[in-house]
């Protein structure tokens, strides 16, 4: 099991390189998304919002899934580090879900003619955003957030029920949102010239998430004044 001292040693050694990799990934992914990728014959230049919106939606679901796994570990095995990871990840996931909702509205208006409709995919994504807020509010309900470990974990696990609902909402209900076109039984239903920027942007987002997660975990440990020698 990694100790806090080892965690900080690894962080200090890898962080400069991770920052360089993130910068390169950002430049490359933005180039393919804004310059190299073709325009859509119907949506024109508005299709480029997809390269921000779709990876952000994937990250919203992925980060919350990580939180749910950590919450389960906390509830079942009393793993304190898992709870700290969930606490550190929540604000980052909240930002990704906010980006998803905002860019979805900006993309929806020129394509659908409206910023918002109460259909299954949009409504379930809004509920995920609310669960992120609920988890963060529960964590911060007490001055010592460690005392909110169990109720916050319960909120995270309850919210996870919504994750598969978001994923399969376009299959189960009639919705204005377009059906899945990337992860399907028959493979991606999208041109490779558009798929590549999506994958690159998703990798960039993941790198951004990992860097911020490590920073937030380290900040939390410093705030708690954990003695590295005792772990």
pLDDT digits (tens, 9 = 90+) for 23-67: 999 999 999 999 999 988 788 898 999 999 999 999 999 999 999
Q: Are 29 and 215 in contact (CB under 8 A)?
A: no
Of 60, 59, 48, 58, nearest to 107 (Cα)?
48
- Residue 119: the pLDDT is 87
Of 126, 128, 151, 127, nearest to 138 (Cα)?
151
pLDDT confidence bin for 71, thresholds 50/70/90: very high
Of 92, 15, 105, nearest to 53 (Cα)?
105
pLDDT confidence bin for 174, thresholds 50/70/90: low
- Residue 17: the pLDDT is 93
Alpha-carbon distance of 151 to 179, in angstroms, equals: 35
Coil, strand or helix: which one is 44?
Answer: strand
Judged on CB neighbours under 10 Å (0-12, 13-18, 19+), 182 is middle
- Residue 183: the pLDDT is 62
Number of C-beta neighbours around residue 129 at 10 A = 17
- Longest CA pairwise span in the chain (Å): 61
pLDDT digits (tens, 9 = 90+) for 111-141: 888 899 898 999 999 999 999 999 999 999 9
Alpha-carbon distance of 2 to 214, in angstroms, equals: 14
The pTM assigned to this predicted structure is 0.91
Please give the mean pLDDT across all residues of the chain: 89
């Amino acid at each position: 099991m990694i100790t806090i001292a080892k965690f900080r040693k690894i962080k200090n050694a890898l962080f400069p390189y991770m920052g360089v990799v993130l910068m390169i990934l950002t430049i490359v992914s933005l180039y393919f998304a804004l310059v190299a990728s073709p325009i859509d014959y119907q949506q024109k230049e508005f299709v480029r919002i997809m390269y921000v919106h779709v990876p952000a939606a994937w990250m919203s679901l992925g980060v919350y899934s990580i939180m749910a796994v950590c919450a389960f570990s906390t509830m079942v095995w009393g793993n304190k580090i898992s709870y700290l990871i969930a606490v550190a990840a929540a604000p980052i996931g909240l930002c990704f879900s906010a980006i998803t909702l905002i860019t979805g509205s900006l993309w929806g208006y020129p394509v659908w003619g409206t910023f918002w409709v109460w259909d299954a995919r949009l409504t379930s994504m809004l509920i995920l955003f609310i669960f992120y807020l609920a988890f963060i509010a529960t964590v911060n309900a007490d001055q010592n957030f460690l005392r909110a470990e169990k109720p916050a974990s319960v909120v995270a696990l309850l919210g996870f029920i919504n994750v598969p609902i978001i994923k399969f909402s376009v299959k189960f209900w009639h919705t204005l949102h377009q059906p899945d076109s990337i992860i399907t039984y028959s493979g991606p239903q999208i041109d490779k010239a558009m798929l590549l920027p999506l994958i690159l942007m998703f990798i960039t987002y993941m790198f951004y998430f990992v860097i911020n997660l490590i920073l937030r975990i380290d900040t939390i440990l410093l705030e708690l004044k954990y003695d590295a020698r005792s772990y």
